[in-house]
Amino acid sequence: MKLYRLLTGDDTSAFCHKVSEALAKGWELHGDPAYAFDAENGVMRCAQAVTKEVEGEYSPDMKLGAQ
């Protein structure tokens, strides 16, 4: 089955590390990253979708970050 996650965060090196960690755990980039300005907080926000093929069946109780 294919799992999907949307990683989000402020546009900082911490967000890049979050995506890099997911890639190191076998997740693959899915589509282009997205950027949006959060006017209320005055910061840029990032989002990157990632997917991963795993064995088994999907359950809404799965902890996707642990995969």
- Would 67 be classed as within a structural domain? no
Domain total in the chain:
1
Q: Is 43 helix (H, G, I), strand (E, B) or coil?
A: strand
Reported as a single tens digit per residue, the pLDDT across 26-63 is 999 999 999 999 999 999 999 999 999 999 898 888 88
* Of 18, 7, 10, the residue nearest 51 (C-alpha): 7
When pLDDT is cut at 50, 70 and 90, the band that residue 16 belongs to is very high
- Would 62 be classed as within a structural domain? no
- Would 65 be classed as within a structural domain? no
**Whole domain around residue 6: which residue ranges?**
2-56
- Would 46 be classed as within a structural domain? yes
When pLDDT is cut at 50, 70 and 90, the band that residue 65 belongs to is confident
- Would 17 be classed as within a structural domain? yes
- Would 64 be classed as within a structural domain? no
Which pTM value belongs to this model? Answer: 0.87
Distance CA 10, CA 13 (A): 9
1-39 core/surface letters (b: 16 or more CB in 10 A; e: else)? eeeebebebebeeebeebbeebeeeebeeeeeeeeeeee
